Structure 1
Amino acid sequence: MRFAMLRYRFATPPRSTLLTGLLFSGLAHAEPPAPETTLPAVKVTAKAAKDAKEAKEKEAPSEDTGAYVVARSASGTGLDLPLRETPQPVTVLTHAQLEDFRLSSAIDALDAVTGVQVERVETDRTYFTARGFDITNFQFDGVGAGFANGNLLGDLDLAPFDRIEVVRGANGLVSATGYPSATVNFIRKRPTRELQASATLGAGSWDRGRADVDISGSLGWDGAVRGRFVGAGETGHSYLDRLASRKHLLYGVVEADLGAATTFTAGFTFQRKDTDGGLWGALPLLHTDGTPTHYARSTSTAADWVRWDNRETTLFAELAHDLGGGWSVKGTWTRRRQESDDKLFYVYGTPDPVTGLGLYAYPSLYAGTTTQDLAEGSLRGTFSLFGRTHQVVVGAQYAHGLLEDQSHYGRGIGTPLPDLAVWDGRYPEPVFDASVAGSRVVDARGTGFAAARLNLAEGVNLLLGAAHTSQSTAGLAYGVDRMRKDSATTPYAGLTWDVAPAHTLYASCAEIFNPQSEMDRSQRRLDPVKGRSVEAGLKSAWLGQRLQTSVSLFRATQRNLAESDGYVGIQAVYKGVDTTAKGLELEASGDLTRDLQVHAGATFLSLEDGDGRDARTYVPRRLAQAGATWRLPFLPKAKTGLAVTWKSDMRREEGPGMTIRQRAYALVNLMARYDFTSALSASVNVENVTNEKYLTSLYWSQAFYGAPTNVRVSVSWKY
């Protein structure tokens, strides 16, 4: 009864509780002053120039630079540091990259990040993995308000964001848990003092259309109060039969200087995505004899009355005060509310290789609301010891989450369906009164954290920190008691050593602790995952800091990680297994010349269970992403680009003689833009140029095919 797994997963968070991903603050802070000492005048001047340069780099959003690289980030440690001094690999998708390749969705953008695998299990539900494990830590401006169920429902539009920063590896300093995959930090656009505005109109294959508007500037009081408004709308059909969607987004933020040292910021985001004909579950991938199914790329399992509607509202406020002497304090509050209202149709069973019969209907009416509240306070600054300046941050966070949902199952569960190859989606909409089930689960999490960056010697820095987290869960989810309390302290240590003016060696070690929601065969919730993550590497800067490269070796061991263990009745159950991941990552990003910008990365991964066998084989063992844009020397107003993603072969074992396979494949995207003036430009983006046919994911035992070749055209204006 494979359909039960989809129903259970829809209602119950996998590998996380409601607050998975509620993380520490990591926003930029004041640059530490130079230590008091007597230096020759020329050195004092140089130091002042360096401090001024670093302060400028820290404050400038990537939308102002047009570059493919940023100088600094706080996403990895909670301390504002140059990327070379963060003892983990950090990938930054800048505003220029997002704009060049029209990456308006988080799903598409994260597909371009080194080592990240986007698991498109359905049209409106997506998981993400890195280094072989689920990404459960998500941040907004360095504050964790992650996806409540460990997955992204609907979509996350990128119109409100300046850039995305991804820190790979265990990241216990800036997250409530130290899970060894990655932390994704979405950096919002902020108001500007000077008036600026932009608008974009686009159209593409399958009647797709999109419009964006962005206005920012002073609201008065000589720029002491500033505001920004962003709006976006998108609509269109799809290559999948019966699929169409409409998306609307509003983002507003106001920033006010309450004094020379105090700034208050408040804002909201509202996004709504309504989908007709969305997939709940996907296509069966094997016949009854174990041979693979081969459907047309457009084949859908959705009935013609299906809808999947998601709404999300986020409110946030921040108060920051400069205490002077290199110290600052900050408080933040975030509320995130997600609502779903869906009529869904799942298809289960295994088709006959000759007739295509053997599939059955499972209709359901679903409604759910998730509310997350997060409050955080932090103090950070610098201090002098043994003639050197050091940095420190301390803080606390409290998070509360409530999930309430209900499923009304339709009459006719188990009704035989025609062969999907000829089915047109016609199925009478049933009365949804066959049975009712639901959830009401409350999560609470408190975290205290501290970190210090100790300047041991010239070019040698030691980073030490720890977080203590206590979490409680209470409530029922589809008849299962979720009562659980967990607590743990996760230490972190990292070392960076500038072995040459442009080259830095680093090493780091972090403990792993992650509570789990899965139940075993005895209806007992699995104990938290525990383990350790270590890595070492070399980071380098070239061409006057314009190009950055990194080489990383990593190893992560986890104990009691939840893996599927079949079913008890209609409920999916899990078992805890030991898992070891190790591998190598390579990355380069930046501007080779004024006219040539690049981003490239590769991951080589090994995943084994406690007995040395291949584990999580649905994760590709080798990944490569590469992109480049260049302005033509003979036509300087034109910009062209290429982006390639390559994945090695994957497989999923469904039993003896039942193996799902996806061969290695590459996706190639092209872009071209022409700047008619400094304000007006037009662009063309072509995706999947080679028209590759591939499965979007083997994360589940069902999947659908990715999009064929498609084209988008847009016109942009900027003031």
Structure 2
Amino acid sequence: MSHPASRPVGVDPLALAVRRALGLATAGAFVLMSPALLAQESESAEELETVTVEAEALSIVTEGSDDYRVPRTSTATKLDLTPRETPQSVSVVTRAQIEDFNLDTINDALESTPGVTVERVETDRTYYSSRGFEISNLQVDGLRLPMPYNNVHGDIDTAVYDRIEVVRGATGLMSGSGNPAATVNFIRKRPTETPRASVSATLGSRDHRRLELDVSGPLDDEGRVRGRLVAAGLDSDSYLDRLHRERGVLYGVLEADLTDSTQLALGHTWQQNDTDGNMWGALPLYDSAGNPTDYDRSTSPAPDWSYWNGETHRSFVELTQRLSDDWQVKGTVTHLDMLSDTKLFYIGTVPDASTGRIPNSFYLSKYDRHLEQWVADLHAKGDVEVLGRHHQLVLGADWSQSRNQQSSLYAAATEDLPPLDEWDGSYPEPEFGDPDFANDATIKERSLYGAAKLDLADRWTAVAGARLSWLDTVGEQYGSSQDTTLDNELTPYAGLIYDVTDQASLYASYTEIFNPQTETDRNGDYLDPVEGVSYELGLKADVFDGGADAALALFRTEQNNVAQVVGNVGGRDVYAGADGITSEGVDVTLAGELAPGWQASVGYTYLEIEDADGEATNTYIPRNMVRGTTSYRPASLDALKVGARVRWQDDIERERDRDDGKTRQDAYALVDLMASYDFSDSLTGSLNVNNVTDEKYLTSLKWDQGFYGAPRHVMANLTWTY
């Protein structure tokens, strides 16, 4: 059984943390709004929204506009490519979508992303999947972020991000090791060239309260030094019994033009999550006779003493040197320090069919974790001209080190539980003692990479690249040695694009990714890594007079050399590589402005997922999915904006762990509605109604337990901007 995370040091109460964050933010606002800066008020509103850094796709800014698409991305290859020039399926959640639908966490945002499923297996631990595989690759500003166990602890707040880009399929060129699912790239907000500020307050159902402050602008008269400070605080009860959340966020970033061609940026993000009454595992989905359970949506298996607290510090320093109009070099170093601690209660059995009582088979745990990561990247990017044609190149190297320390302490259960829908959360709280970080493993990965966009002919373009990786892991996790070494692991990338017309292109691509294994063969040697391979064939087009991007993709993704037990030698299982999961299907997406004032981002995904024997597998992942957000601002009343978000999926099921039955979740659709009104140039009010049909549904069937999603709820927001 996997275990949650924990912090080995104490955490200040969140209320104090939020006050500290907002206090610092307010101080920053006074600095940024000094008289020298206010003299720049007369500059146009358009200038307030734009930050320009030469030849960098990350300089694209979506905040301050209604756009539901971006003109270029670099997540797939680090090359600055338009959607039509990128030979993979790409989706973006822009700042407008985040604000329109109050997508305050990464979970909320990814639930709006075509081709992605968010597996909320517990209240404070989440898995993501795409194309039949767990997503194991995250990036921040294009730098890979190692992700132990393929899950996220707590809610990552979106206050600090301008947008979220998702590239589906194998992404080994920029991600290094991982699964052939997708890469999620979080693009931070950056300082603006002119002063701006905003304060946003949200009140919602079940005492949901959120405050967000964002100030930005130049810090000197010449505008050569710029800063930004973002702070957010959340305090909320829940529809789930006993669950209460507090969250604080503080993000500061400085940019300085050291010379006309040299820019230095440095920043730090702090986030603290405090959750009381959190789940470890979830509700039993069937009873001892195999009958499906049907609890109230508010029912929780968490006792009143359970909690999950976490604190994250993420720092970065970035130096960009422009060598010419066409070339630049960038070096970045990031550091992550994540601490968390929990007290947990897990139900290890099912209720009695006749009484509803749950026998004394529980896990009581204190789980602590310390995750520390360093990531460094150095790359050069620019244009070259060969035989009269312009090409784009990127060459780079990166290095990462990730140390994961864990402690799991247990106590004995002492009594049975009454039926869960009658339980008030009372259960004896045990004493666990001090954490013991015996589970300690360190992963080091070093890579060289290169990619090129090649202008082959008038209508032909190729995108090609490769990554060469070295990986070393030492240590132990839960009694299992993690010691592995990989040398010269080559990961190729190839794509070909043909412009059928000036507005439409056909493309084909082949991408790979690898994942190390700790299983050994008969000779005691580690197996070669699992190989993930993605094939994609598609059509992309600029539609609606160039205002939107449309794409149709046929894809096939395979896992090869997956460890399978083939015997036993001296009491030790031995393994051999075999074929794994294969998925294939269709992605259809549309994003952008469909008519004046009408923005949309819509996607449909069809999946087939089979194991090596050709049998359907991972049936908890829906085979048909629709994800869509849309908003409309009428020309006759442009102060008004209305919109809707729709998430639909077909039936899913899971084979039970304890009997031969299956747990099923019928197809369902979730509909969210929003409306906002600009009372003035500075003041906007909005209203969101989520799950308007009050649909009752299970959030995931990835595990043999689950819980229900939120019923209908309302949020009202008031935002002042300068």
TM-score normalised according to structure 1 size: 0.89
Other-structure match for 1:393: 394
Q: How does 1:331-480 map to 2 (within 5 A)?
A: 331-359=331-359, 360-410=361-411, 412-413=412-413, 415-432=415-432, 438-480=438-480
CA distance in 1, matches of 2:302, 2:691: 25
CA distance in 2, matches of 1:414, 1:438: 27
Closer/same/farther in 2, CA of residues 562 and 195 from structure 1, 3 Å limit: farther
Secondary structure of residue in 2 paired with 1:174 = helix
Code of the aligned partner of 1:649: D
CA distance in 2, matches of 1:10, 1:714: 33
Closer/same/farther in 2, CA of residues 241 and 58 from structure 1, 3 Å limit: closer
Shift in Å, 1:711: 0.4
2:690 paired with 1:687? yes
Closer/same/farther in 2, CA of residues 520 and 605 from structure 1, 3 Å limit: farther
Other-structure match for 1:260: 260
Other-structure match for 2:674: 671
Shift in Å, 1:464: 1.4
Q: How does 1:192-203 map to 2 (within 5 A)?
A: 192-203=192-203
Quote the RMSD (CA, aligned, Å): 2.6
Q: Cα deviation per residue 1:610-629 (whole Å; 9 max; x = unaligned)?
A: 11110111111111012211
Shift in Å, 1:59: 4.1
Closer/same/farther in 2, CA of residues 386 and 99 from structure 1, 3 Å limit: same
Q: How does 1:142-181 map to 2 (within 5 A)?
A: 142-177=142-177, 179-181=179-181
Shift in Å, 1:171: 1.4
CA distance in 1, matches of 2:272, 2:574: 33
Give ranges in structure 1 of 5+ residues lacking alignment.
12-51, 566-571
Shift in Å, 1:116: 0.2
Other-structure match for 2:718: 715
Closer/same/farther in 2, CA of residues 182 and 376 from structure 1, 3 Å limit: same
Other-structure match for 1:276: 276
Other-structure match for 1:112: 112
Q: How does 1:217-296 map to 2 (within 5 A)?
A: 217-296=217-296
CA distance in 2, matches of 1:666, 1:235: 28
Other-structure match for 1:45: none
CA distance in 2, matches of 1:392, 1:680: 45
Shift in Å, 1:441: 0.7
Closer/same/farther in 2, CA of residues 268 and 616 from structure 1, 3 Å limit: same
CA distance in 1, matches of 2:648, 2:565: 28
Shift in Å, 1:315: 0.5
Q: Specify which of 583, 586, 606 is matched with residue 584 of structure 1.
A: 586
CA contact (8 A) 2:132 2:618 kept: yes
CA contact (8 A) 1:498 1:505 kept: yes
Q: Cα deviation per residue 1:281-306 (whole Å; 9 max; x = unaligned)?
A: 10111212222111111111111111
CA contact (8 A) 1:69 1:546 kept: no
CA contact (8 A) 2:55 2:326 kept: no
Q: How does 1:637-652 map to 2 (within 5 A)?
A: 637-652=639-654
Closer/same/farther in 2, CA of residues 635 and 521 from structure 1, 3 Å limit: farther
Shift in Å, 1:459: 2.9
Code of the aligned partner of 2:583: A
CA contact (8 A) 1:409 1:435 kept: no
CA distance in 1, matches of 2:81, 2:584: 27
CA distance in 2, matches of 1:254, 1:188: 12
Other-structure match for 2:630: 628
Secondary structure of residue in 1 paired with 2:305 = coil
Q: How does 1:577-616 map to 2 (within 5 A)?
A: 578-616=580-618
Code of the aligned partner of 1:198: S
CA distance in 1, matches of 2:526, 2:434: 29
Other-structure match for 2:209: 209
Closer/same/farther in 2, CA of residues 564 and 189 from structure 1, 3 Å limit: farther
Closer/same/farther in 2, CA of residues 311 and 526 from structure 1, 3 Å limit: farther
Shift in Å, 1:174: 1.4
Secondary structure of residue in 1 paired with 2:254 = strand
Shift in Å, 1:172: 2.0
CA distance in 2, matches of 1:251, 1:363: 36
Q: Cα deviation per residue 1:36-62 (whole Å; 9 max; x = unaligned)?
A: xxxxxxxxxxxxxxxx99979974411
Secondary structure of residue in 2 paired with 1:652 = strand
Q: How does 1:70-89 map to 2 (within 5 A)?
A: 70-89=70-89
Code of the aligned partner of 1:451: A
CA contact (8 A) 1:361 1:415 kept: no
CA contact (8 A) 2:124 2:153 kept: yes
Other-structure match for 2:135: 135
CA distance in 2, matches of 1:526, 1:424: 50
Closer/same/farther in 2, CA of residues 236 and 564 from structure 1, 3 Å limit: farther
Shift in Å, 1:386: 1.5
CA contact (8 A) 2:180 2:532 kept: no
Of 440-449 and 140-149, more deviation after overlay is shown by: 140-149
Shift in Å, 1:480: 2.0
CA contact (8 A) 2:560 2:579 kept: yes
Give ranges in structure 2 of 5+ residues lacking alignment.
7-51, 567-572
Code of the aligned partner of 1:173: L
Code of the aligned partner of 1:449: Y
Other-structure match for 2:537: 536
Shift in Å, 1:633: 5.2
Shift in Å, 1:180: 2.0
Shift in Å, 1:358: 3.6
Q: Cα deviation per residue 1:267-292 (whole Å; 9 max; x = unaligned)?
A: 00000000000001101112122221
Shift in Å, 1:520: 11
Shift in Å, 1:375: 0.9
Of 306-315 and 587-596, more deviation after overlay is shown by: 587-596
Secondary structure of residue in 1 paired with 2:222 = helix
How many corresponding residue pairs? 667
Q: Cα deviation per residue 1:622-645 (whole Å; 9 max; x = unaligned)?
A: 110122111245543221111110
Secondary structure of residue in 1 paired with 2:264 = strand
Shift in Å, 1:345: 1.2
Other-structure match for 2:28: none
CA contact (8 A) 1:249 1:271 kept: yes
Q: Cα deviation per residue 1:449-475 (whole Å; 9 max; x = unaligned)?
A: 111111101131111111011111111
Shift in Å, 1:227: 0.2
CA distance in 2, matches of 1:60, 1:96: 14
CA contact (8 A) 1:372 1:399 kept: yes
Q: Cα deviation per residue 1:636-690 (whole Å; 9 max; x = unaligned)?
A: 3221111110011111112553211111111010001111011101100011111
Secondary structure of residue in 2 paired with 1:355 = coil
Q: Cα deviation per residue 1:118-144 (whole Å; 9 max; x = unaligned)?
A: 000110000100011111111111011
Shift in Å, 1:512: 3.1
Closer/same/farther in 2, CA of residues 346 and 247 from structure 1, 3 Å limit: same
Secondary structure of residue in 1 paired with 2:206 = helix
Percent identical: 44
CA contact (8 A) 1:597 1:630 kept: yes
CA distance in 2, matches of 1:698, 1:523: 36
CA distance in 1, matches of 2:461, 2:328: 22
CA contact (8 A) 1:178 1:511 kept: no
Other-structure match for 1:19: none
Code of the aligned partner of 1:396: A
Shift in Å, 1:522: 13
CA distance in 1, matches of 2:261, 2:564: 51
Closer/same/farther in 2, CA of residues 500 and 557 from structure 1, 3 Å limit: same
Code of the aligned partner of 2:625: L
CA contact (8 A) 2:94 2:163 kept: yes
TM-score normalised according to structure 2 size: 0.88
CA contact (8 A) 1:202 1:211 kept: yes
CA contact (8 A) 1:409 1:436 kept: no
Shift in Å, 1:224: 0.4
Shift in Å, 1:348: 1.2
CA distance in 1, matches of 2:565, 2:407: 24
Closer/same/farther in 2, CA of residues 671 and 573 from structure 1, 3 Å limit: farther
Closer/same/farther in 2, CA of residues 146 and 402 from structure 1, 3 Å limit: closer
Closer/same/farther in 2, CA of residues 59 and 232 from structure 1, 3 Å limit: same
